[in-house]
Amino acid sequence: MTWSPAQYTKFEAERNRPIHDLLGSLPNSYADSAIDLGCGPGNSTEILQGCFPSAKVTGIDSSPDMVAAARKRMPKHSFEVGDVSTWQGQGGPFDIILSNAVLQWVPDHERLIPALCAHLGSEGSLAVQMPDNMAEPAQTLMRDIAKSGPWAAKLKEEPRTPIHGVDWYYRALRAEVASVDIWRTTYHHPLAGAKAIVEWFKSTGLRPFIQPLDEAERAEYLARYEAAVAKAYPALPDGTVLLPFPRLFFVATR
């Protein structure tokens, strides 16, 4: 799957809010080294650097296009193409490991969580935010339309499985670190109608559904999805639609 930095940053202000909330909950007052796992176009890395101006901040992402965008955004910083699931902690240990809206795409959290914690330095923190919206209409409609259309054979595989619950992450983290702060927040984003919701998810959740399709199929899939979204999220009198977006956060500190 390819990622589009331009599409992703269409809603950068909304996407940045959880990053600020996550980093604002860190107990760390100082950091020498920090890494952004799944840095995307560098927006999260930029916020991380702003929180810890003296730290050496680096980033990795599996998408060459995202890494190119991050390098353009922050030319003095080091960004590399890499897979979070196989990352070996190069450059560590770290005072801060940030992963914003990435780990929901990475399987095997039973192995991944201890592996990430192992790359923390003394009193270092792992700060993670994951969308927890698989049961929301915006997500269930993607899957329903994938199964019911003429493209069903192309879209057999589920691109993403639900993440674990809060209690599971607390137990997994508590076995590895000294303290865990974990919470779930639902944001309500005011957007300009159903079309804006479609644009939001075209850079994330919709990608695995529309990228295997040809141009005509993609247009038909998106038209069906937009019509279904319009019914699921009725517009307010001024045309605004409130998009509920649950997210799971945790800060695990050694």
Residue ranges, the chain, pLDDT below 70: 1-10, 158-159
pTM: 0.91
Taking only the tens place, the pLDDT of each residue in 179-234 is 999 999 999 999 999 999 999 999 889 999 999 999 999 999 999 999 999 999 99
Side-chain-facing half-sphere of 98: CA atoms under 13 Å? 33
pLDDT of residue 161: 74
pLDDT of residue 3: 46
pLDDT of residue 186: 98
Q: The CATH number of the domain where 232 resides is what?
A: 3.40.50.150
pLDDT of residue 14: 86
Tokens 């054979």 belong to residue? 153
pLDDT of residue 159: 67
pLDDT of residue 2: 54
Our count of domains for the chain comes to: 1
One-letter amino acid at 135 equals: A
Give the Cβ contact number of residue 88 at 10 Å: 9
Q: How far apart are CA 61 and CA 20, in angstroms?
A: 20
3-state DSSP assignment of residue 248: strand
Token reading at 141: 């409609």
Task: Give the domain extent around 57.
Answer: 5-253
| DSSP, res 246 | E
Q: Which residues pair with 188 in a beta bridge?
A: 244
